[in-house]
Amino acid sequence: MQVINSRLIFPAAAEVGEGALWDERRQMLWWVDIHACKVHRFDPLGCVDTAWDVGQHVGTVVLDQEGDLLLALRSGFARLDPNKGKLRKIHEPEPQLDFMRFNDGKCDPQGRFWAGTMAYDCRSGAGSLYVLETSGQVSRALDGLSISNGLVWSEDGRTLFFIDSLSYEVHAYDCHPDKVELSHRRVVVRFDKDSEGMPDGMAIDTHGGLWVALFGGSCVVRIDPSSGAKTHKVVVPTSNITSCAFGGPELKQLYITSATVHLSPEQRHAQPWAGGLFVAEVPFTGRFSDRYGMQSETFKAQQQ
């Protein structure tokens, strides 16, 4: 396994940094600090970080075709205009469940926003994976989850790679391009709880490789989904690694978020950069993030 080092680019000291997302139009990185209720935008050119307080826990952020932000808040889906700082709720799938919150999520090649839930106490089977369709309708794709987390799609949109963190596995599902329907679940790779850490957020490169952030593992590892082999390891100088996203002008940099949550005072002292943003130069190119309401070029070509 090839080892790659990362470097600190912003000492954010986030409690739970998450949801890394590269904005190729602005050439900036969006990310969230879940427990601080903040959406962040990091400008790598000037090393400037700007934050918006959205008033409740926020699990992840995606972009739409106009450049506005869609969020998975504690209560449900919402839209944020970053220019005006105006927040508008869209849909609350679980309004009666105060012990739940939304966690990670992304848009698929068809322009739909997928995001999952989890219980604050991480109880088994309480979470679900929801889909905000471009019509505004919300459907449930999976239930019985514990910590709904990282997800990415194959380029043609017909395979979903998904992490339910407490399974310590990455799963693959067959997808239906025109409706919310998952089938044929199989295990891509399993991580050892004691020696490797818990799988969290995930990104995908143009070769189909899966880049998995390992909470408690001090790294991001690249997985070949055809074999389950771990081919590359990006080492990070703190333990709780939460998400990753390809970025930079050529999408050859891997941006990485981290967390201070669950670290003891002794661990915080030993890990002064915990909760920071990191970046690594990697020998692969990432894919542009899909946007809400905007079909990818690959998906549109298949429909013709």
Helix (H, G, I), strand (E, B) or coil at 166: helix
Residue 200 reports pLDDT greater than 60: yes
**pTM of the model as a whole:** 0.96
**Fold classified for 2-303:** Neuraminidase (2.120.10)
Contacts of 16 (CB under 8 A, 6+ apart): 33, 34, 35, 36, 242, 259, 261
Where along the chain do its domains lie? Answer: 2-303
Residue 260 reports pLDDT greater than 70: yes
Q: Which of 81-85, 113-117, 290-294 has the highest mean pLDDT?
A: 113-117
**pLDDT over 90 for what percent of the chain?**
88
Residue pointed to by tokens 């699990």? 59
- Residue length of the chain: 304
- The pLDDT-based confidence of 285 (bands split at 50, 70, 90) is very high
pLDDT tens, 45-58? 999 999 999 999 99
Nearest to 164 by CA among 137, 138, 176, 182: 182
Residue 94 reports pLDDT greater than 80: yes
pLDDT for 298: 60
Least confident of 67-76, 175-184, 246-255, 268-277: 175-184
More confident residue, 239 or 179: 239
pLDDT tens, 132-164? 999 999 999 999 999 999 999 998 899 999 999
Per-residue pLDDT, averaged over 184-205, amounts to: 97
Alpha-carbon gap, residue 109 to 115, rounded angstroms: 15
pLDDT for 76: 95
- The pLDDT-based confidence of 178 (bands split at 50, 70, 90) is confident
pLDDT for 294: 74
Beta 229-235 vs 2-5: how paired, if at all?
Answer: parallel
